[in-house]
Amino acid sequence: MTEVLPDSPQNVLAARARLGEGPIWDSTQNLLYWVDIYNHRVHQFHPATGKDEFFDVGDVVGAIAKAGDNRFIMALRHQLVFLNTQTGEVTPIVEIEADLADNRFNDGKCDSQGRFWFGSMSSEKAQASLYRYDPDGSLHTMETGLTISNGLGWSPDQKTFYLTDSPQQTIYAYDFDLETGNIANRRAVVNLTHESFYPDGLTIDSEGYIWSAMWDGGCVIRFSPTGEEIWRLKMPVPLVTSCNFGGEDLRTLYITTASVGLQQEEIDKIYYSGDLFAFRAEVAGLPTYDFLG
């Protein structure tokens, strides 16, 4: 039987984002960074004060990762770039999938070796891919045949890599080689084809359990490493996009949401769509890693 958490998520920022996504925790400054994809914004949220600031990066921004002091690596529509957080300057790195007009880059994050993983999404089935950009400047295609490359993460022992394909309603697991960065032996670990909603961004906790945000599902679900649903964290909005652990003890789960595609009547009824939420968990998360290039 599915257990329901006794406490509710707290609304910590009335962001009203169109498509909030990709929260990452900066443990050196105790800040949360997140993106509003369609508003082209990289946000910096200060939990201690509730203050939120943002950079307009001039294009859809699907994923970010810290890349040293005052610098981020970002996956924009069809390219990787660096963002200087002191000047706001955006510096191109490499263009990818520019010939696929209907594609854009989506979710991404760094592994513990400082390699940046990011995927694309397509309006056409099986036209998206997953990439890995290494600190030495090399680009590697890690998976093809995806439709919306989404929520990814690694197990605490660094032996398993997780990848979500949202329209397939599936979270896949792969064997992961930490030294080489290679993945192999893909298998479906979470199958949600019996549900009416879609797995979006995810994070992994220190016990190796998967926390997956459910688009059009109004919840975050915690799964065991073998794919068993443990319980659901109910959200006050339907479009739940991603989550990540933060706070000094990594026990605060930050959750991004969206309002894109909702009719005004729905937005009026579900007033908090697009806001940022936080939930105090009984288990800690894993650290957020930087790009080391």
Structural domain includes residue 271: yes
Please state the domain count of the chain.
Answer: 1
Question: Would 287 be classed as within a structural domain?
Answer: no
Query: Per the domain annotation, does 219 fall within a domain?
Result: yes
Alpha helices by DSSP H, listed for the chain, are 264-269
Domain assignment of residue 234, given as a range:
3-280
Residue 274 sits in a domain whose CATH number is 2.120.10.30
Residue 114 in any domain: the answer is yes
Cα distance between residue 136 and residue 21, in whole Å:
27
Q: How many angstroms separate the CA atoms of 30 and 148, rounded?
A: 31
DSSP assignments along 135-156, one per residue: TTS-EEEEEEEESBEEEEEE-T
Q: Is residue 293 included in any domain, yes or no? A: no
Amino acid at site 161? F
Per-residue pLDDT of the chain (293 residues; tens, 9 = 90+): 344 444 689 999 999 999 999 999 999 999 999 999 999 999 999 999 999 999 999 999 999 999 999 999 999 999 999 999 999 999 999 999 999 999 999 999 999 999 999 999 999 999 999 999 999 999 999 999 999 999 999 999 999 999 999 999 999 999 999 999 999 999 999 999 999 999 999 999 999 999 999 999 999 999 999 999 999 999 999 999 999 999 999 999 999 999 987 777 766 667 789 999 999 999 999 999 999 98
Asked if residue 292 is part of any domain, the answer here is no
Q: What is the pLDDT of residue 266?
A: 65
Instruction: Report the SS3 class of residue 234.
Output: strand
78-151-125 Cα angle (round to 5): 60
Q: CB-side exposure of 221: number of CA atoms within 13 Å? A: 23
pLDDT of residue 6: 46
Residue 111 bears catalytic tag: no
Residue 288 lies in a domain: no
DSSP character for 85? T
Reported for 38-41, long-range contacts at CB under 8 A and 24+ positions apart, including other chains, are 38/260
Q: Is residue 13 part of a domain?
A: yes
Specify the pLDDT at position 262. 72
Catalytic residue among 200, 205, 275, 290: 200
At 55, list the tokens.
């950079």
